């Protein structure tokens, strides 16, 4: 069995997984993302980023192309409710554009994305072992690949201790 070691293993390279991976790698941790689907992943989505979401993306160095949104309107039958945003603009962004922008930022930051699915997580006092599977396989774990996470890395433990956290 081949093992790849990393401080952090993120299961799923959607927006949340990639954002978490960028945060972790820019905090000095080594990160592996497991995502069996390739390319810019599309899915059902209203494609609206709120002002707070845009600000969070900017802290990650992600600035997806789109159209300014000044507010939001909910419509149901003949009724509607609407309001302007009170804290800046939102943005209408194609889901694939958002995903591509996050993937580019993650790659530029040094995140490794492996085209594998997680199929089992085994935790011990020493490590968290994530057993993986090639995309499209439905049988048991793939014996050729596994990813290990060796608990709290020493430099993070020291950093947290100096900040009075355990
Ligand atoms: C109809 C609809 C409209 C929406 N509209 C908006 C909107 O306008 N604005 C907005 O901000 N949000 C919207 N959302 C919410 C938004 O889509 C989610 O919050 C967002 O997709 C969550 O991101 P995620 O990375 O957690 O999950 P996902 O985007 O679902 O990504 C999960 C990833 O994990 C991977 N994965 C799954 N299992 C495994 C495994 N075993 N191993 C490895 N990888 C795995 C999948 O391939 C996938 O790529 C909408 C959602 C829906 C359903």
Cα Dmax for the chain: 60
Q: Is residue 3 part of a domain?
A: no
Q: Is residue 74 part of a domain?
A: yes
Choice from 9, 14, 121 to test ligand 1 binding pocket (greatest atom count within 8 A of CB) = 14
Q: Is residue 120 part of a domain?
A: no
For residues 61-75, give the mean pLDDT: 96
pTM of the model: 0.88
Q: Chain-wide mean pLDDT for the chain?
A: 87
Q: Residue 140 pLDDT more than 60?
A: no
The residue range of the domain holding 87 is: 48-93
**Residue 126: per-residue pLDDT:** 83
**Residue 3: per-residue pLDDT:** 80
Specify the 3-state DSSP secondary structure of 60.
coil
What is the domain count for the chain? 1
**Residue 96: per-residue pLDDT:** 97
Interval between CA 78 and ligand 1 midpoint (Å): 30
Q: Is residue 86 part of a domain?
A: yes
Q: Is residue 85 part of a domain?
A: yes
Percent helix / strand / coil, the chain, rounded to 5: 25, 35, 40
- Looking at beta carbons, which pairs linking 135-142 to residues 24 or more positions away fall under 8 Å? 135/36, 135/37, 136/36, 142/116
Using pLDDT thresholds of 50, 70 and 90, give the confidence band for residue 158. low
Is the model more confident about 43 or about 124? 43
* Half-sphere exposure of residue 3: CA atoms within 13 angstroms, side-chain side: 9
Ligand 1 neighbour 141 (Cβ under 6 A): no
Ligand 1 neighbour 15 (Cβ under 6 A): yes
Q: Residue 52 pLDDT more than 70?
A: yes
Ligand 1 neighbour 77 (Cβ under 6 A): no
**Residue 85: per-residue pLDDT:** 97
Q: Is residue 103 part of a domain?
A: no
Q: Residue 122 pLDDT more than 70?
A: yes
Ligand 1 neighbour 46 (Cβ under 6 A): yes
């Amino acid at each position: 069995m081949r093992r790849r070691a990393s401080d952090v293993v993120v299961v799923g390279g959607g927006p949340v997984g990639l954002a978490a991976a960028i945060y972790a790698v820019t905090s000095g941790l080594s990160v592996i993302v497991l995502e069996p689907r390739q390319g810019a992943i599309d899915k059902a989505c209203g494609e609206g980023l709120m002002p707070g979401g845009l600000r969070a993306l900017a802290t990650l160095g992600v600035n997806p192309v789109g159209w300014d949104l000044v507010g939001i309107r909910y419509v149901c039958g003949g009724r509607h409710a609407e309001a302007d945003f009170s804290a800046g603009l939102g943005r209408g962004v194609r889901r694939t554009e958002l995903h591509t922008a996050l993937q580019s930022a993650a790659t530029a930051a040094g995140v490794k994305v492996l085209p594998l699915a997680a199929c089992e997580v085994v935790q011990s006092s020493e490590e968290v072992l994530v057993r993986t599977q090639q995309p499209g396989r439905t049988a048991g774990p793939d014996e050729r690949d596994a990813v290990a996470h060796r608990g709290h890395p020493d430099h993070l433990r020291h950093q947290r201790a100096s900040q009075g956290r355990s």
